[in-house]
Structure 1
Amino acid sequence: MSVLSKVNVYRRNIMRNLTKNIGKPKMQDDFILVDKAEIKKVLICRPNGRLGNLLLITPLVQEVAETFPNCKIDLFVKGTLAPIIFENYSVVNKTIHLPKKPFKSLFEYLKVWISIKNESYDMVINVDQNSSSGRLAVQFSNAKYKFFGDAIDQQAEKKKDFEHIAKYPVYNFRHYLTKLRLFTNSNKIIAPLDLKLSASEVANGRKILNELVKNDKRTIFIFTYATGAKCLSEDWWEKFYEQITKEYKDYNIVEVLPVENVSQIGFKAPTFYSKDIREIGSVIANGDVFIGADSGIMHLSSSVQTPTIGLFSGANIKKYEPYDNCSIAIDINTCTEREYTKTINSILNNGKLNSYSKAI
């Protein structure tokens, strides 16, 4: 680990310790929200720039929009991906970007905090309780209703899927609303990840795929890359690719390449490469199943409602597994070749049911 990386780790730890108790003395029990129409401007704080983490807040954005139909939402984030991901979310008014390197962009960094302080938000919501910047943004704002993202232990006992990183912010938000004496349906199904592709984007994805495979076969997408320990070995992928090419001779098997333009199977399959997130999503939306390790692209596949098989080798399955539309997470340490085939067959036989497939 470089000296700069070590400093960054220490900085994060210090900030978390300094901010962990912000907002905890009370949960605004003295406030009651009588009229939903009172909430017209909301700030959701997720100061993170990773593709997966931004896609994983789309269920919360949908929940807030449904709860307060007259509101507009601003997003407090990092990086440049949020405007692309939320391009077709009419409820999203703007994104506020925290610089990735605050010490090198001190003026821009201060401008962000001043802008949050000067905005007249009715409600500010922090997604991750461990985010020091998120907690500070809630505290710093002038909003009447402030939710710091603290987990509700009782919810964990009631909901089997509470651990999921896209779901527990919604459960916690619903619980916060009950503290404001606002009725919420705690048993309502949580919305899926959603990139909200347009019909024209999906049609363009179909065109790109057709030009690549030049046939009318159904398509299985694979994504062989992931970061760090999540990246499965070349040997594992070589064996898996050999297995599925033998089993699914009547299907196209297309590898979606990462921005690094690398392949764990030595580019043996037809490949699709793009740096345009929405274009990648539009191509995957035309597939019948996506198979890949835990990554931003795996969550992208979920967000375009393509049945997704997430390959996991660690203990984070419940937290990051793809869900909805026949999607499933698999522990590669316990799954056999026969079980892989059975799972893929089950998805392919059930077919793909979503708005994107109906639009093309």
Structure 2
Amino acid sequence: MMNNILNTPDLRILLIKLRHHGDMLLTTPVINSLRQRLPGAQIDVLLYEETRDMLAAHPAINTIYGIDRKWKQLGTLKHLQKEWQLLCALRARQYHLVINLADQWRSAIVTRFTGAPVRLGFGFNKRKNAFWRFCHTELVSVANHNALHTVEQNLSILSPLSVPPVSTVTMSYSADDWNVARQQLAAQGISDRYIVIQPTSRWFFKCWDENKMAQTITALRQEGHTIVLTAGPDKKELSMVDRILSASPQTGVISLAGQLSLRQLASLIDHADLFIGVDSVPMHMAAALQTPCVALFGPSKLTFWSPWQVNGEVIWAGNFGPLPDPDAVDTKTSERYLDAIPVDAVVDAAKRCLA
């Protein structure tokens, strides 16, 4: 039945992943694999609403369903109504195949409620119980996941199906997204060539010293490059960009921090000569877009989260000093674990990528 289901006319597939922005981007190889093997299938996705931008322009996706975590603010009754409406909408689609990449109970319940005849999930160690098995028709082993990149982990869900893996990560955006970004550049006097630098992450322990970033910008300006700084809209991130700007050359360096959507940022990165950034969503976007990239990496698990198929160089802080165990990091710490990385290492890598 497993592979017979793929021959179903008007095949409908639901992919479930309830995580952060970067996680959503790294599900695209699964979507791309399904599309290549099943060109006529309708592929829907269930995600957290705030991550919609990561997949909204993907050409292979039919419909995106979102769980809005703000529903909790509506009160218990309205929250439950929203959840029930979503469940009913998914069940009404009469999916033939549900692929649950998530590890939450909620995702398992949704998977079971769809009534799909084939429901794949992972046999997570923390979910070894009868109810998790009841929600899925087959569980895929995670025994070798510790040695695999997140992309490879995701693709392993397809092992029970005759779907050859396509390992390409895809970051999609529209012509309108690029028009907005290009207008923002033009308003600041930039017409064509530039370098994008994303110095911030929502986790500040993943960030590099502001003065070192300013020194890197100064060195690149001396080579004649125009610099565009980007960041999320969070006040802490904007303050960090302001500190970097104040220590950087006053010409040829602009900020679009907090001014672009994720898809607009993707278009900006796609048209850049180079991307320099820390371990964050834009770093994964740059790798997906094959923009020349210098990625500064700290205590995150390199095996799982290094930029996939990056066109450039990954500079790991662990090569310059000791790093804590990734599982032991306090995410609220004020430590900057990337600070061991010297300016010269980043500037030299940038020059190699630009050569």
Find the counterpart in structure 2 of residue 168 from structure 1: 153
Establish whether residue 294 from structure 1 lines up as the match of residue 274 from structure 2.
no
Find the counterpart in structure 1 of residue 347 from structure 2: 341
1:238 corresponds to which letter in structure 2?
Answer: N
Find the counterpart in structure 1 of residue 95 from structure 2: 121
1:176 corresponds to which letter in structure 2?
Answer: P
Establish whether residue 193 from structure 1 lines up as the match of residue 170 from structure 2.
yes
Choose from 229, 232, 238 the match for 2:211: 238
Taking the aligned partners of 2:186 and 2:284, their CA distance within structure 1 comes to 23
Specify which structure has the higher proportion of helix.
2
Establish whether residue 87 from structure 1 lines up as the match of residue 87 from structure 2.
no
Q: Residue deviations 1:59-116, cap 9 Å, x none?
A: 221122112111011111122442x433333432212222315553121012222333
Taking the aligned partners of 2:94 and 2:274, their CA distance within structure 1 comes to 44
Choose from 270, 273, 277 the match for 2:254: 270
Alpha carbons of structure 1 residues 192 and 97: separation in structure 2 relative to 1, 3 Å: closer
Find the counterpart in structure 1 of residue 269 from structure 2: 284
Find the counterpart in structure 1 of residue 203 from structure 2: 228
Find the counterpart in structure 2 of residue 43 from structure 1: 14
Alpha carbons of structure 1 residues 215 and 228: separation in structure 2 relative to 1, 3 Å: closer
Choose from 269, 291, 303 the match for 1:318: 303
Alpha carbons of structure 1 residues 189 and 53: separation in structure 2 relative to 1, 3 Å: closer
SS state at 1:148 partner: strand
Find the counterpart in structure 1 of residue 38 from structure 2: 68
Taking the aligned partners of 2:285 and 2:206, their CA distance within structure 1 comes to 17
Q: Is the 8 A contact 2:294 2:314 kept in 1?
A: yes
Q: Is the 8 A contact 1:225 1:264 kept in 2?
A: yes
Deviation at 1:270, TM superposition (A): 1.1
Find the counterpart in structure 2 of residue 252 from structure 1: 226
Taking the aligned partners of 1:97 and 1:201, their CA distance within structure 2 comes to 21
Choose from 74, 77, 83 the match for 1:109: 83
Q: Is the 8 A contact 2:270 2:289 kept in 1?
A: yes
Percent same amino acid among aligned pairs? Answer: 18
Q: Is the 8 A contact 1:230 1:294 kept in 2?
A: no
Q: Is the 8 A contact 1:245 1:253 kept in 2?
A: no
1:74 corresponds to which letter in structure 2?
Answer: D
Deviation at 1:153, TM superposition (A): 4.7
Q: Is the 8 A contact 1:45 1:77 kept in 2?
A: yes
Find the counterpart in structure 2 of residue 98 from structure 1: 67
How many equivalent residue pairs? 300
Structure 1: which 5+ residue stretches go unaligned?
Answer: 1-30, 350-360
Deviation at 1:230, TM superposition (A): 3.3
Q: Is the 8 A contact 1:322 1:328 kept in 2?
A: no
TM-score, structure 2 as length reference: 0.74
Q: Residue deviations 1:249-289, cap 9 Å, x none?
A: 21012211321251425233410142422222222222122
Taking the aligned partners of 2:81 and 2:5, their CA distance within structure 1 comes to 39
Q: Is the 8 A contact 1:288 1:348 kept in 2?
A: yes
Alpha carbons of structure 1 residues 189 and 33: separation in structure 2 relative to 1, 3 Å: closer
Find the counterpart in structure 2 of residue 20 from structure 1: none
Taking the aligned partners of 2:64 and 2:190, their CA distance within structure 1 comes to 40
Deviation at 1:52, TM superposition (A): 2.1
Q: Is the 8 A contact 1:222 1:254 kept in 2?
A: yes
Q: Residue deviations 1:183-236, cap 9 Å, x none?
A: x44xx65112322x34564465345334424365x3221112212343425xx1
Q: Is the 8 A contact 1:119 1:142 kept in 2?
A: no
Structure 2: which 5+ residue stretches go unaligned?
Answer: 124-139, 247-252, 321-340
Deviation at 1:346, TM superposition (A): 2.3
Find the counterpart in structure 1 of residue 317 from structure 2: 332
SS state at 1:88 partner: coil
Q: Is the 8 A contact 1:225 1:232 kept in 2?
A: yes
SS state at 1:290 partner: strand
Taking the aligned partners of 2:171 and 2:308, their CA distance within structure 1 comes to 12
SS state at 1:345 partner: helix
